[in-house]
Copies of this chain bind each other. A is one copy, B any other.
């Protein structure tokens, strides 16, 4: 975390704060205040905010403070719809193009999942899950595709996270992923479509439920003003 550019580092910091909930949806990100707080000047902070804007995590408004995105249910549903399509496409391509080494790496991730399922906390398990799906995307050998995959993954990171920590389902976490790896090994496009479909189609309503819940909750506490 050292050799990246300064704006990228700032973006990482802000992204973490947003995803961890320290910067809550709707909060404004004032250039001067945040620049001072992070000990940098407005220019790189500004650029960092633009990076997050393209990722969909913050929202730019003309002649106004950027705010942390407060995605509507519709937006989250749209994002999920796109992410699922990208992931299915990646999986099918990976079926044809993944190297044996890449499949081995994915299998190893599933092994780790199975081993640690009962011991690690939700956050760690979630990170492992993320690495599996990122690995699947890169196994499609199409960097453009992997790029937009990671964009939508980070846009939905918080939603997925909230969804994941409230439900720990061994079947989904371990079995589904095993089936995906098995289908990859067999180079069986239909099988991977089925396996991933089962995995993801269950994920979608979960995420949307969590978000719906969070938004209702937020509007209930709507008296809170956005601070600093």
Contacts and interface: CB of A to CB of B under 8 A. Distances in A.
A73 to B, nearest CB: 13
Given A54-B54, A89-B85, A78 B47 contact: no
Interface string A17-33: 00000000000000000
Interface residues of A, number: 21
Copies in the complex: 2
Interface stretch (A105-113, A141-149, A163-171, A199-207): A141-149
A145 B82 contact: yes
A39 interface: no
Contacts of A75: 143-144
* A interface secondary structure, majority: helix
Interface in A120-153: 142-145, 148, 152
Interface of A: 5, 43, 47, 50, 54, 56, 62, 75, 78-79, 81-82, 85, 89, 93, 142-145, 148, 152
